Structure 1
Amino acid sequence: MSSIEELSKSLVREYLSRKGLKKTLSVLDEEMPRNSQSISNRQILAKTMHIEYLMKKNKEDSVPLKTMIEVMTQYFVRKGGAVSTSGATDDKKRKSRPLQKNDVEPSRILVAMPPKATATTKKEDSLLFEDIEDEVDISPAPRLLQNSGFRGAGSSFQGVPIDLSTAMSLKSIIFGNAITFFNSEWQRQSFVFCDICNLEYGLVQFKGGPCGLLASLQAYVLKHLLFTEHKPRQYIQLINYFYSFCQHTFRFDERERRRALLDAMADILWQCGGGQRACLARVSSSEQRSFVGSVPGRYKSDRLTERLTLMYADTKADVATLLKNNISQFENSSGNGAILFLYCVILSRGLENVMLDMDDSKGRLMGMHGYCTQEMVNLIITGRASSNVFNGEIDLDTGGSKTSLLKGIEKRCDVGFLSLFEHYGSCQVGSFLKSPKYPIWLVCSESHFTVLFSSDVKILDDSKKRFDLFYYDGLAKQDEPIRLTIAMGGEGKHAEKDLIPPLELCIQTKWKRCSVDWNDTEPLL
C-alpha cells in the first residue's frame, strides 16, 4: 500500500507533467527523488485513488479537465454546493446535485487500497483500461503490448505474467516458430566482467553464439565508462595522461562497472522504446506456469519463457530503478541473462514494431547455429531491427510494377559498426554507423562480433593522422589489452603474399589506405 505522502507526490507530478511544467517537475524530482513507491502511470494512480469513475465522467465532459487534482477538486467543490471556475464556459453549465448511486464517496478517494471485487459489482463500476486510454501517452507501443496488461512503473513495479500469445510471438520473432528455444551457449550466458588486470571493462563471452548481443552491450558499457556525464572532465584527462606512462591501461572498479552496465542497459531499452516506455522481463520465483489453451505442436515449453513477469516503465529513471532492482537476474553466472535482455529489448521495441522494422516481415533475429542476425544487432545498437547498415531506405526495383523497400539506419548512432563484408563488397556501411557520436565500433568479421574503441573523440573528425584504437574480444580469452596504432596515408606494411588480418581490412573500410601497427601483439588472423 502506498503511503499518503507518496500518493500526494505522485498526484503533484501528474499535475506538473500534464500542465507541461517540465522545469518545475525536474526540480521536484531533484528535491524529492522518486522511489519504489512512486506511481508514474495514470491508470494505476487513478485506480489506487479509487477515482476511475470520476475520470470517466470527466472524459465525457465537453471540456474535460486535464489533471487528477483538478478532477478531485471539482468533485469536492460540487459536493460543497459551489461551482468550479477552472472549466470556464463549460463549468457554468454544471450544477451541483445530490450524490448519485454511482458516484464515488469522498471517503473512498483518499484511501490507498486496491478496490475489492464483489459478486454484486455493477458493470458501470468495473471500468476498463480503454476508458481513459487516450489520456496517457503509450506510443509507440504495439497492440500486442497494449493488450498484454500494461502496468506502468507503479508503487511496487508490479508486473503481469506473460500470456501465451505474447510468448508465441516473442519466440517466433527470434526463431521463426514457437517450438524452438535457445541453444546451450545462450542459456549459459550472463553478464560477467573480466577479472584480468587492465581488461576489467570487458564482458566475458563463455561460448560462441551470443557475441552480437554481448558486443553491442559492451559498446554501450564503454560509452558510459569513458564518456558520459558520470565521468568528470578531469577524469577523462587523467586517463589520457596515463596513456603515455602506463602502457595505455584502463582501470575501473566494481562500482564503476556495475553503474556502467546498468546505464548501458537502460540506454538500450529506452532507445528501443522510442523514449516513451521500456519493458523489463524477469523470471518469476513461482513454479513454472502452464499456458491454458496452448496448441500441441505450436508452442513448446522451455521452462523460462512461461515464467516471465513483464514490468513496464514510462520514464527512463524508472527503467534504471527496475534494472537495479533486478540486476542479479542478468549477472547470475548460472542464469539466462543474455536471453532475458534480448526479451527486454524486443518487448521494449514492441513485437509488431520489430516485425515492421525488418525488410522481410517473416524475418527473424536468430541465425544459424545460434548466431545473431544483423537485425538483432541493429535493434540493440540503434533501437530498430532494420535489416541493413546503409543510411536511410532504398527502393529496390524488382521488375514490373513492384518495388521492395530496403530499410537501413535512420540517424547517427551513439556507437558505430564496421564489417568485413563491406571489404568484400557484400554490403555498404553508411556514415551514421561509420562516424558515430562516440569513438566505439562493433566489428563484424567472419560471423563474429567484437569491439574497437578509443577515448579520444577527436579521431571522429578524421583530422588526426595517427591515433590508437583498442580492441576487445570477449570470447578470445585475452590476457592483456590489444593496442593498435593507426597511421593515415600509408598502404600498410604487408608484402603482396602476406595474409592481411581481417581486423585490418575492417579498419580500412573506415580509414582508407591506413597502416595498422599491432605494437608487438601477435596479429589476429
Structure 2
Amino acid sequence: MAMGLRKMLFGNTFHIFSYEWKKSCFKFHTPYSDLSYALEAEKGGARAILMAVQVHIIKYCLFVRNREENIPLQGLYEISQTEQENALAESLGDILWTAGEGRKATVCLVTTDTYITPNIDYKVDNLTERLQLFEFFEKEAAQKFICDHIQCFKGEGSHGVILFLYSLLFSRTLERLQKDLDFTTSHLLQFSLGNFICRQAILNVILTGRATPHVFNGFQKFDSEGGVQELLHGVLARSDVGYLHWNKQEVEHYRPLQVGSMLKTPKLPIWLCNINRTYSVLFSTNRLLLSDWKMEHIFDLYLYNGQPSQKKTVHLTVDTHSHHWEKNHCEESDPEKRFPSVEMAIRTKWEGAAINWNGAVPFF
C-alpha cells in the first residue's frame, strides 16, 4: 500500500515530502475578521492544494449552508472558529466523497503504531508507515468523523495537507487514478526548483473528483512518434466549481493553455485560478450568475490570493458590455503597456470585459 502510494505521488519509493510540505496544515485567518473564511496559504508545493480546498470552503459558506440566491459578502466575515472547523470538515468530506464516486470516502490519520516492515527499496518518512485508514459509506459520516478529528488536519505539526492528500488518493483508489491518468502523466507530483509541486491531475481530482491530467473538455487524440495515436484525458463533465488559467510567458511564446468550458463554466460561480503559476480564488456571491446570461452584463467578483499581504477580500466589478477594452485595444498591443494578470485571467472567461478594482491597487 505505502509503496503504491509513493509511486503514484513521486514516481518512485525513494522520494519523501519536504519539511515545507510536512508543516503545511489547514489554518484559517482570525475568526470574525475580513478573511475569517480564508485559509492561510504559505509558499511551496502544498499551496495549490490549500487554495483548491479554499474553493470548496467558499462553496460551503456561500451556497451549501445558505439557500438564498444572492448572499451578502458580509456573511463570509462573521465566521467563528467552530464554523471554520465545520466548514473545513464539510468541504474535505465532500471532496473525498466525490473522489470516491459517491460510494465511499477514506480518511487517513496518523497513529503511534508502525504498519510497514523496513524495506531496502523504500525510504522511511515516519508518517506514511503510521497511517490508519477509516472507510465511510455515507458522506455525512465521513464529514462528522473529520469534524471530530479536525485537529489532525488543522493543528500545528499535524501534517494536515499530506493526510488530506493521502485520504484523497485512497478515496479515489490507486486503480481509478491509473485510469484517470494518460501517457503524459505517470505520477502526481513534479520536482521543480527544489520542491515538489502539484501536477494538474491533483487539482482536477479536488475540483472534479477525477484525476484527469488536462483542462480541455473530453478526450483529444495525439499522434505520438511512430504514428501511434494516444488519447489525452480531459474533463468529462461540469462540476460545482471551476478553473481559470493565464500565464504571461505562455502567451508571449504563443502557447496559451486553453481551459475547456466544463471548467470555465461550473455550476457555481467559484474558480481556482492559476495566474502566472500562483494560485488564487475568484468568486461571486450570486448563485445564479452563470445560469442567466443577463446577469453577466455587469457583476461583482471577489478575489482572495492567499498572499500574507492581503488583509481583506478584493472587490472587482466586471462589465462585459463596456467599450473600454476596444478603446484601449491599441494599448493592449503596446509592449510598454502592462495589464494586471488577474484581469487577463478573467478575460479568458469574459472576453473583452472591463474590470474595475473599486479603489484597490491592481496586482501585477
TM-score by length of 2: 0.89
Aligned residue for 1:213?
49
Aligned equivalent of 1:519: 358
1:388 equivalent in alignment to 2:214 = yes
**Partner SS for 2:85:** helix
TM-aligned CA deviation for residue 418 of structure 1 = 0.3
Return the alpha-carbon distance in structure 2 between the equivalents of residues 501 and 215 of structure 1: 20
The answer to whether residue 7 in structure 2 is matched with residue 168 in structure 1 is no
Instruction: Letter of the 1:430 partner, please give it.
Output: G
Give the SS at the match of 1:214.
Answer: helix
| Cross-structure match for 1:466 | 298
Q: What is the CA distance between 1:392 and its match in structure 2?
A: 0.8
The alpha carbon displacement at 1:210 in A equals 1.2
Is 1:487 the counterpart of 2:319? The answer is yes
SS at match of 2:198: coil
Offset from partner CA, 1:495-514 (integer Å, 9 cap, x none): 43321111111110000000
Aligned residues: 347
Rg larger for: 1
More strand by share: 2
The structure with the largest helix share of the pair is 1
- Write the letter of the residue equivalent to 1:471: L
Letter matched to residue 274 of structure 2: C
In structure 1, stretches of 5+ residues that fail to align are 1-165
In structure 2, how many angstroms separate the alpha carbons of the residues matched to 1:486 and 1:281?
Answer: 42
Provide the residue aligned with 2:266 in structure 1.
436
The reply on whether 1:291 has 2:116 as its aligned counterpart is yes
SS in 2 for 1:459: coil
Please tell me the root mean square deviation across aligned C-alpha atoms, in Å: 2.1
Does 2:255 match 1:255?
A: no
The question of whether the paired residues in 2 share the 8 Å contact of 1:450 and 1:472 is answered with: yes
**Contact 1:416–1:434 (Cα < 8 Å) also in 2:** yes
Deviation at 1:427, TM superposition (A): 2.1
Q: Given the alignment, which residue of 135, 141, 145 partners 1:318?
A: 141
1:253 deviates by 2.3
CA distance, structure 2, for counterparts of residue 482 and residue 277 of structure 1: 37
In the superposition, the TM-score normalised over structure 1's length comes to 0.63
The Cα shift of 1:362 comes to 5.8
Match of 1:411 in 2: 237
Structure 2: 5+ residue runs without aligned partners?
none
Which gives a bigger RCO, structure 1 or 2 (Cα 8 Å, sep 6+)? 2
Q: Which residue of 1 aligns with 2:342?
A: 503
Give 2:157's match in structure 1, choosing from 334, 344, 349: 334
Give the Cα separation in 1 of the matches to 2:282 and 2:172: 27
Cα distance in 2 between the residues matched to 1:371 and 1:450: 16
Match of residue 138 from structure 1: none
Deviation, 1:232, is: 4.4
Q: In the alignment, which residue of structure 2 is the partner of 1:270?
A: 97
How far 1:411 sits from its partner (Å)? 0.5
Deviations along 1:427-471, one digit per CA (max 9) or x if unpaired, are: 221111111011000000122211001111232133231111111
Q: Does 1:178 align with 2:13?
A: yes
Q: CA-to-partner distance for each residue in 1:201-254, whole Å, 9 max, x for gaps?
A: 1001133221221111000000010001x3243xx65x43xx6xx7x9743222
Q: 1:186-201 maps to which residues of 2 (within 5 A)?
A: 186-195=21-30, 197-201=33-37
1:467–1:361: structure 2 CA closer, same or farther, 3 Å change rule? closer
Cross-structure match for 1:160: none
1:97-112 alignment, distance < 5 Å:
none
Task: Provide the rounded CA distance (Å) in 2 between the counterparts of 1:295 and 1:186.
Answer: 24
Contact 1:394 1:407 in 2 (8 A): yes
**Contact 1:215/1:442 (8 A) holds in 2:** yes
Identify which range, 510-519 or 251-260, moves more after superposition.
Answer: 251-260
Shift of 1:290: 6.3
